[in-house]
Structure 1
Amino acid sequence: MRITVMTADQQIVTLDVDPHESVENVKALLEVETQVPLQQQQLLYNGREMSNSEKLSALGVKDEDLLMMVSAAPSGAPANDLGFNPDGSAVNPAAFQQHIRQDSNLIGQLFQTDPELAQAILGSDLNRIQEILRMRHQQRAELQRQKEEELALLYADPFDVEAQKKIEAAIRQKGIDENWAAALEHNPEAFARVVMLYVDMEVNGVPLKAFVDSGAQSTIISKSCAERCGLLRLLDQRYKGIAQGVGQSEILGRIHVAPIKIGNIFYPCSFLVLDSPNMEFLFGLDMLRKHQCIIDLKENVLRVGGGEVSVPFLQEKDIPSRFLDEERHAKEASSSGGLATGTTDRSGSTPKGGQSSGGASGSTSQESDFEAKIAKLVELGFGREAVIQALKLFNGNEEQAAGFLFGGF
């Protein structure tokens, strides 16, 4: 293996030695290279003096490790200036920094083997140097402990059940560590944070950053956001219930239709209003289907209306930090798990099933019938909002609503 020795007079010596070489033999090699007598050499590793009779492997010295050599001669640098404390930090961090700074070869080696420490040494923060040295000491100590445990297991009694369990756990952990190292090398993006999909929208003229979630059955707006958008006055409390997803939240009611602006085009949208202070606006599967939306991750855009409008998904820097913390709460608030019992229909009675695939009231077929009635009456020339109000007034009776509209017309 190869070790690097830094002397008190800023000389760097690289030696190829056997892991089981004695410290005394290493000092003999250094005597040839540095002209410092063996008796005057003091070798330090991790702040601890190495005695002549000890072996390098027994001290935990590994390939590419750094040793410090201080001279006992009066003209040499004091040992306490270039030594290390028991916790791995430098006794004199300023002297340690100065020694390494003045040797371009050592700085180059550090940039290859430990760029973080090299950057700290070139900086002016001595506390940072001490922090990194302590961290490296802890890492080496942990690695040494693991090796000692592996060595102990290697010679363990093959008939000892507990020892075999530890060997099995060690083999499993080794496989996990190898898998982690392979992922870190070949698939590093897997460790990056995944930002959820947000787009800019306007709800009733108020700009919002909408969380696009195809895993939520219904489009959701919080009570505070609905109030800010001036929609709370349209809240139909007959659609109360419980939204069940990852967690559960109370449904305060439903806003049947309001304009949302995506790009430069307005679209009708309906919302469930939740008492969820941790979530603002969630664009769910119901509206994604209704407006034929396409989530294009290759181009990183949301296409609406089969492609007539394309809006880019926001980058992380454009998303408020509180939104990033709210993603978990938004998933909990989503009604992807359906509704619990207790939701009421338009007549005020409780549905038999109590469960809603659309996340609102009754069944999807009932909602589709209601939309079909609206479409028929709108074709007769009436405004959509007036049609909805008339149908609600007559509990969905299409003929009575039409008579009322014609009479008012």
Structure 2
Amino acid sequence: MRIAVMTVDEQIISLDVDPHETVENVKALLEVETNVPLQQQQLLFNGKETRNSEKLSALGVKDEDLLMMISSASSGAAGNDLRLNPDGSAVNPAAFQQHLQRDSGLMAQLLQTDPDLSQAISGNNLHKLQDILRSRHRQRSELQRQKEEELALLYADPFNVEAQRKIEAAIRQKGIDENWAAALEYNPEGFARVVMLYVDMEVNGIPLKAFVDSGAQSTIISKSCAEKCGLLRLLDQRYKGIAHGVGQSEILGRIHVAPIKIGNNFYPCSFVVLDSPNMEFLFGLDMLRKHQCTIDLKDNVLKVGGGEVSVPFLQEKDIPSRFLDEERLLNEASSSGATVSSGLTQKKNTDATPASQPSGATEHSTSQGADFEGKVSKLMELGFGREAVIQALRLFNGNEDQAAGFLFGG
């Protein structure tokens, strides 16, 4: 009968043998074909090792069956291929990867304990696998170093000030590590990226992705976006100034009213126009209050008009990638906690004239703005004198609510 023998290098050897031939005689034939000494050969049939004295018929070997030959020499070479370099990387990354892939139990364990390493072993990027192996080696080395330092501190002189300082630092770091481990287990969301709140809106009929920011004092639109929406012709340059907050941006002016569409409803909106090309439209606290908006994070919607309209916040995949660098956008838009220094300069006869210079001091420019006069009128309607109202507004940097609380408390 004819049998086939596959070597470890995937070479197929065909042999004509008698069914009652012993395994030892088959190995002798293979020695002639492969130059591998009989003593270094190991024959496997159906995954089981065979003994030299066994006959092929007794093993169940039939015509055209396949056996596998493994040599002890190749096993030693394979063992060398699985060795690691001093930096933790594999000597032969391909062989190392294949060896681990064949161990289903180990792969299942790695999937639970180290998914990054498991993914690298399952993938085709050997460079990534080597990088992860080096990284894990560095982590093990650092952990071993810390343990050695802790052990040395246990035997340190208790009266040594430097040793006691290191013990104190080690105890503090241990508390930090325990807190970090607890956070990973009980609050893993804290390590995830938080995507800012965006909704779909239309400004003057042009669809936009609006950044909803309750920490911004004013609703902001960039010059380029205002031009795209056909609103730049309405820019009132008398309201030039500086937006203060995380950073500073130049205020080009204000657009006093324009329609915005949220859901199926239209609402009037006013904008501060900034010279910020990378920030389009920011829906700030002024319009959130005016239109009685609610940021509902439970249902993940923005409710407008006391709930008459609800629009969902956008998922990360629906937000343009240029908007996802929120820290840069906040610096450019000066949104979170930003205060706006802009307004009209006024003469003693209260005739408004265009500003001849940028508004510098926040208190000075705020006290002379048209918005400021509106706040003065509202507070005077509550029965307070004009001078008292002006002083309260200046004291609280133009914040109407805080000024009213101060006046009532006084």
Normalising to structure 2: TM-score of the pair? 0.65
Matching residue of 1:272: 272
Normalising to structure 1: TM-score of the pair? 0.65
1:172 Cα shift?
1.0
Runs (5+) with no aligned partner, structure 2: 1-7, 9-71, 379-410
Matching residue of 2:364: 354
1:315 Cα shift?
0.9
For the 8 Å contact 1:110–1:117, the answer to whether it is kept is yes
Matching residue of 1:194: 194
Q: SS of the counterpart of 2:88?
A: coil
1:110 Cα shift?
4.1
Q: SS of the counterpart of 1:142?
A: helix
Matching residue of 1:89: 89
Matching residue of 2:58: none
Matching residue of 2:99: 99
Alignment of 1:170-189 (within 5 A): 170-189=170-189
For the 8 Å contact 1:302–1:312, the answer to whether it is kept is yes
Matching residue of 1:285: 285
Change over 3 Å in CA distance of 1:263–1:132 after alignment to 2: same
Matching residue of 1:14: none
1:102 Cα shift?
3.9
| CA distance, structure 1, for counterparts of residue 253 and residue 342 of structure 2 | 14
For the 8 Å contact 1:241–1:343, the answer to whether it is kept is no
- Between 1:335-344 and 1:122-131, the stretch displaced more is 335-344
| CA distance, structure 2, for counterparts of residue 368 and residue 271 of structure 1 | 21
1:74 Cα shift?
5.9
Alignment of 1:3-402 (within 5 A): 77-78=76-77, 80-330=80-330, 332-334=332-334, 336-340=337-341, 344=345, 347-348=352-353, 353-356=363-366, 361-366=369-374
For the 8 Å contact 1:88–1:137, the answer to whether it is kept is yes
1:136 Cα shift?
1.8
Deviations 1:309-357 (A, max 9, x none): 1111111111101111145423552464423477635702779942539
Matching residue of 1:68: none
Runs (5+) with no aligned partner, structure 1: 1-8, 10-72, 371-409
Q: SS of the counterpart of 2:273?
A: strand
| CA distance, structure 1, for counterparts of residue 345 and residue 329 of structure 2 | 25
For the 8 Å contact 1:200–1:210, the answer to whether it is kept is yes
| CA distance, structure 2, for counterparts of residue 104 and residue 363 of structure 1 | 70
- Between 1:345-354 and 1:251-260, the stretch displaced more is 345-354
| CA distance, structure 2, for counterparts of residue 341 and residue 364 of structure 1 | 11
Give the residue type in structure 1 aligned to 2:284: G
1:221 Cα shift?
0.8
| CA distance, structure 1, for counterparts of residue 304 and residue 375 of structure 2 | 22
Q: SS of the counterpart of 2:302?
A: strand
| CA distance, structure 1, for counterparts of residue 111 and residue 307 of structure 2 | 51
For the 8 Å contact 1:256–1:269, the answer to whether it is kept is yes
1:288 Cα shift?
1.0
Give the residue type in structure 2 aligned to 1:306: G
Deviations 1:73-117 (A, max 9, x none): 867513533322111122223333343344444444444544443
| CA distance, structure 1, for counterparts of residue 372 and residue 264 of structure 2 | 30
| CA distance, structure 1, for counterparts of residue 74 and residue 227 of structure 2 | 80
1:130 Cα shift?
2.4
| CA distance, structure 2, for counterparts of residue 93 and residue 255 of structure 1 | 63
| CA distance, structure 2, for counterparts of residue 113 and residue 265 of structure 1 | 51
For the 8 Å contact 2:196–2:326, the answer to whether it is kept is no
User: What's the RMSD between the two structures over aligned residues?
Assistant: 2.9
Once the two structures are aligned, what percentage of the paired residues are identical?
Answer: 75
Matching residue of 1:382: none
Q: SS of the counterpart of 2:353?
A: coil
Matching residue of 1:393: none
Q: Report how many residues are paired.
A: 297
For the 8 Å contact 1:212–1:283, the answer to whether it is kept is yes
For the 8 Å contact 2:215–2:338, the answer to whether it is kept is no
| CA distance, structure 1, for counterparts of residue 136 and residue 302 of structure 2 | 47
| CA distance, structure 1, for counterparts of residue 105 and residue 260 of structure 2 | 64
